[in-house]
Structure formats: structure tokens, C-alpha cells
Structure 1
Amino acid sequence: MSKIALIDVGGTSIKFGTWDGHELAKTGQSTTPATLTEFYQVLQMHVNLLQHRTPIAGVGISIPGSVNKQTGQIEGKSAIDYIHGFDIQSALTQQLHLPVTLENDANCAALAELTDGAGQDVSNLLFMIIGTGVGGAVIIDNHIWHGKHLFGGEFGYMLVDDHHILSDIASPVKVARHFTKRQADGHIYNGKEVFDLAESDHPLAKQEVDRFYRVLARAIFNLQYSFDPERIVIGGAVSNNPELLPRLNQEVAACRDASKIGTILPSLTTCTYTDAANLRGAAVDFLATYPNALH
């Protein structure tokens, strides 16, 4: 039986796997190369290895940047400069000698949650991934909504005051940077340390973490009343924090009360998939283009 080869391209590493229609198998990992030529070589090597083990029907790829499904190009910018500005989908099809699909990594994660994860029982959801910044995806009627300029789901660009976008504040990484600068004790703090300090009632840490929840909750409230999704799914390492949902629900309720006309609260949940989400979503995206690939 044929399988789909899956590739999750990241700024520092590339993960590989297969999908047989029922089960995801992780098959390896490699450091992200420095050049396009090396990039092709790494992908060819891994796909060729897979083909020696089992028939491969095609390759589904999760990749950074704004993927233009019509042109095959990756627009915008990412940590991997060499993947942008040309028809990379056609190039990869030629290099790998197999059908290839590409989709943005956050969109892939959202598709994984929609198919059999935290959003499997709804058809309209927002997926927010909170890491170094804030990104995500919009799903309407079970399909990714890319937007006119391929910026659908770029929630981190929202202005939250006169000077800051959401990614500047609603990120544990940025919380740690702000706290480190203000604490100024010579230690470089990470997000977990600051959140732990806040739990211990450290005044400065509590200020930063309270702002994180307040700003993120306001964005969620605004997104709920802009898109009215059935569910909002939150991913990223912060989703493992047991305090995340209770605090966000509390802050969102305060936003509703302040609005005076708001009557509903978002249905918030954390993601089901973590490091496997992009690979699983790449399989969903491939099968949307080639639905009979595994038959």
C-alpha cells in the first residue's frame, strides 16, 4: 500500500514522516541546510530512503511563509531566505519526481486539529499559535481561509496600543525579554521562569504576566466578534500551562462585561497535537489535492 511522504520544514530543523491513511510515522530529522542546493539534496535523500521501504504516492510539505497555492511560490519572509520568490512547488516536483503540495506550517497545524484534534467536531475555527510571536490560521467551512494577500491568520500583526502589535506582548518569549530588561539583575530569564515567578507573587513578574493575559484575551474577544468561530484553539508551548485557559476565560469575560453589548464567550481550548501537528496537517493538505492518492 502506498504512503504519503511528509516533510515539516523549520528554521533550524526538518522533520520527516509518512502517512498511510491511518497512522503517522516519524522517520527522521535533519538540520535545516544553509543553501537551496543542499535543501534539495536533503529532501531527495530522505524521500529516496522512504521509497526503498515502501511505495510513495507523493509528498506533503509544511513550510514557513505565505504559500501561494496558485503560483507555487512562498511569499513574505521567513527564517529560510532561499525558499522565497520563485515557483518552489514546481521545482520540488521536478527534484523529487513526485506530486508535491505545500502549505504554511500554522495552517498545517490547524488542519491537523480540524481533522481529528481539538476542532474535529466543528467546521469553523480559529487556530492561534503562541511562540516567539503570535500566528495562526482561519478555517471556514472546513477550509483554510488564506485571504487576499495570504495573511489570513496573522493575528500577531494586530495593533494592541499606539506602539505595539500582539506579537510584541502576547508571547512568553517577549514576556521574558520585557521582564529581563526591567529586572536588570544580570540573569536572562525564559518564559517559564517568569510565569513561575508570577505564580509566586513576584510583583514585576506578575505585572508582565497579567499584561500577557489581558492583551491576549482582548485579542481573542475581538476575534470572536469579528469571525464568530465555533471554537478557538490555542497551540504553542504555553498551551501546556494549566493556568492558561482559566486565566484567559476570566479575562475574556471581563472584556465582554466592559463591552456592555457582548453576550457570548468564545469556546477556548488547547491543541491536541504538539510536535506532530505540522506533519499530520501536511497529510491532510496533500489529500485535499489528491484525494485518491492512497486508494
Structure 2
Amino acid sequence: MSKAELSRITGISAPTILKIIDYFIKIGCVVEVGEGDAALGRKPQMLRLNSQAAFAIGVEFNGFEIKMGIVDMAGEICKLRVEAAVPSFKKVIGIELVGKLKELIAESKIPTDKILGVCIGVPGVINPESRTIDLAPLEGVTESTDYARIIEDLTRHLNMPVIIENDANAAVIGEFHCRGFGNRDDLLFILIGKGIGAGIIFDGKIRRGRSLVAGEIGYMVFDEKSVTDKKQEGWLEKKLNLDLLMQSRNNVPEEYFDTIAANLALVIVNICVPLEINHIVLGHIIDERFDTRLLERINTYVRSLSVLDLICQFPLCREPVIAGCANLVMEPVLDRILTD
């Protein structure tokens, strides 16, 4: 793509585009790749994003395992590592993570100074201002817990910025960008691990809520006799019994399988109809065989329950949480570059 094409597509004036591109070339984000074709006059200098100019690390902890990935500027995962993990926020997201991430970086052979930072996606309500996590009883968080010290230790030992984000919010951000959606698009992303949560984007903006509880669908209730306790898993998580699901894998009894599909369909319809969200994604759970069968059953229920033509799909993004975490690291850096 040429500078003239960028000016025409973005609506930014040619002098401003020239200034931006020259700066991007200077810092290595953009490279010139030769001359393009032109009917008349001087041939344009073609440009290409240098996706290897900078990287970010995304980490996903779902209560069963921890995934760590290094992502380039084009959103491609250059190195991925997956390990089993205990269901404990403090044990997994602690000083031991430093060694794991240093090993990942060493294996990738990517210079540390090219890595902009780390974002860790975890279940629960994350408050970045108070630096607390809450509503994650399945990961050992039964009350509001300060994670400031954890972040400070990780930042010091890794010598790069470290942030924490809700895993489902990271997933919806990763999938939203992967699909090339814009500021008029909505997306509901349902993420299942040891618990269940959702990320919600309205009109291109993530919905967090005043109390940051938006998307905590594990606490949805379809039984008026139920009593909710913040120190315990939510009604829906109890109903789905996800520990049993992960243990049973492809030997799930039919009645239990149908209970999972029916309740997930109820969640989808009860969120997407009143809010008119037309893009719905269910993250991968066990394997292709199980996930495909479950998605088909969910959509069968959705068709019979919904007044809208809704359909739930699988992610297009290879690792939505990791991609979303990387995006949350890179976007502020790029914003600062553009505003300087």
C-alpha cells in the first residue's frame, strides 16, 4: 500500500500521513518494499507493516491450565506454551510465572527489548484502579483480593510492564479484532474453563459495567429458589458442573450433555434477544468432535427459543484470550506513538 492510498482510505491529509509514515519507518514499524505501478508520473513507494518490529506476551489462566503466547504486531502467535495448572490464582499468577515467561522468551529467540509487555487473562472481576480481583471462587478468590504486589513483583523481575485483565474480556477483544469488526458491531463471546464467563462488545466498545461485573454469566439464575453467595460459584456454574465435564470429556452422559447445551442456549437467548446482539461465539472447550456436537445442539435450542435469527459460532482466532491480551498491551503504545 502506498502513502497516497493510506491518505485516501483514512481521510487523513497527505502531509500528516507522510509525517506518520516517516516516523513509523524510523522506528521500524513500517518498511518500504519497492515501487508500485502508476499510469502517469512518478511511481509510488509501496509500504508494508513490519509485524516483527514489536511483540507482546499474552497469558491465559482458565483454572485447568495456563497458556503463554508471544504475539507480533499482525496478531500472529509466534510462540505458544501450554501447561497444566492448579486452580489457584495466587499460586499460578505468582513469582513462578517469571521463570516460565523467561523460558518462553528464550525459546522464541526474540530480543527482550522488542517485547512491549505482558497481559494476563484470568477469571473474575478485575478492577485496574484498585488493583483487586473478586468473584473468582473456583480459582481460590472468595473475597476482594489485592493483586498490586503480584504485579509489582512480576514487573520488576521481567523488566517490562505487566497488567491483568478478565479472561473473557480479553477473548472478546481478540476475536473482535480477528473478525475485522468495527464501531457498529456487537459481539458476545462465551468462554468456558473451570468456570464460565462472557465478554460483551456493544457498538465496538467493550461493556464492563459500573461495578465491572458485566459478563459474569456464571451468576445467571434460572431458578427462583436459588440463593447466590459471592464466596461460591454461581448458579449456572453449579448447574453446568464443569469439573465433571472436563473429567468426562467425550464420555459425557447424554442427559448431562443436553443440560449443558440447553442452559447455554438460554444464556445466549436471554442476553442476545433483549440487547439484539447478532454475533455470538463459543470458545473451544474439549476437542473438535465434542465442541462441534455441542455447538450443533446449542444452535438447535437457540432456533426454537429465539425470535431473532441467532447462530452461535466457533472463534476465528486461534487463541482469542492470548490475542486479546496482546492487543491490550500494544494498543496503548500505538496510541501514544500516534498522538506524540
CA distance 1:238–1:36, change in 2 (3 Å) = closer
Please, which of 256, 274, 281 is the counterpart of residue 226 of structure 1?
A: 274
- The 2-side partners of 1:252 and 1:29 are apart by 33
Aligned to 1:45: 102
Q: 1:98 aligns to what SS in structure 2?
A: coil
Contact map agreement 1:60 1:286 (CA 8 A) in 2: yes
Q: 1:137 aligns to what SS in structure 2?
A: strand
Contact map agreement 1:8 1:279 (CA 8 A) in 2: yes
Structure 1 residue identity aligned to 2:116: G
TM-aligned CA deviation for residue 107 of structure 1: 1.6
Contact map agreement 2:57 2:115 (CA 8 A) in 1: no
Does 1:75 find its partner at 2:118? no
Aligned to 2:79: 26
**How high is the TM-score relative to the length of structure 1?**
0.73
1:80-229 mapped onto 2 (5 Å cutoff): 84-87=145-148, 88-117=150-179, 120=181, 123-161=185-223, 162-163=225-226, 165-170=235-240, 173-174=243-244, 190-194=248-252, 205-229=253-277
Please, which of 228, 248, 254 is the counterpart of residue 304 of structure 2?
A: 254
TM-aligned CA deviation for residue 6 of structure 1: 0.6
Q: 1:291 aligns to what SS in structure 2?
A: helix
Structure 2 residue identity aligned to 1:254: S
Contact map agreement 1:47 1:96 (CA 8 A) in 2: no
Which runs of 5 or more residues in structure 2 are unaligned?
Answer: 1-27, 29-52, 227-233
Q: 2:211 aligns to what SS in structure 1?
A: coil
CA distance 1:15–1:209, change in 2 (3 Å) = closer
- The 2-side partners of 1:212 and 1:37 are apart by 33
Aligned to 2:59: 8
Q: 1:251 aligns to what SS in structure 2?
A: helix
TM-aligned CA deviation for residue 71 of structure 1: 3.0
Q: 2:210 aligns to what SS in structure 1?
A: coil
Does 1:281 find its partner at 2:303? no
TM-aligned CA deviation for residue 270 of structure 1: 1.5
Deviations 1:262-290 (A, max 9, x none): x313232122235x322211111112322
- The 2-side partners of 1:131 and 1:266 are apart by 24
Deviations 1:85-134 (A, max 9, x none): 132444433343323332122222221111114x7477211111234332
CA distance 1:35–1:167, change in 2 (3 Å) = closer
Structure of higher RCO (CA pairs closer than 8 Å, 6+ residues apart): 1
Please, which of 125, 128, 140 is the counterpart of residue 66 of structure 1?
A: 125
Which runs of 5 or more residues in structure 1 are unaligned?
Answer: 177-188, 195-204, 257-262
- The 1-side partners of 2:194 and 2:280 are apart by 19
Q: 2:218 aligns to what SS in structure 1?
A: helix
Aligned to 1:243: 293
- The 1-side partners of 2:108 and 2:198 are apart by 33
Q: Number of residues paired by the alignment?
A: 264
Tell me the percent identity.
Answer: 23
Q: 2:59 aligns to what SS in structure 1?
A: strand
Q: 1:222 aligns to what SS in structure 2?
A: helix
Structure 2 residue identity aligned to 1:252: V
TM-aligned CA deviation for residue 7 of structure 1: 3.7
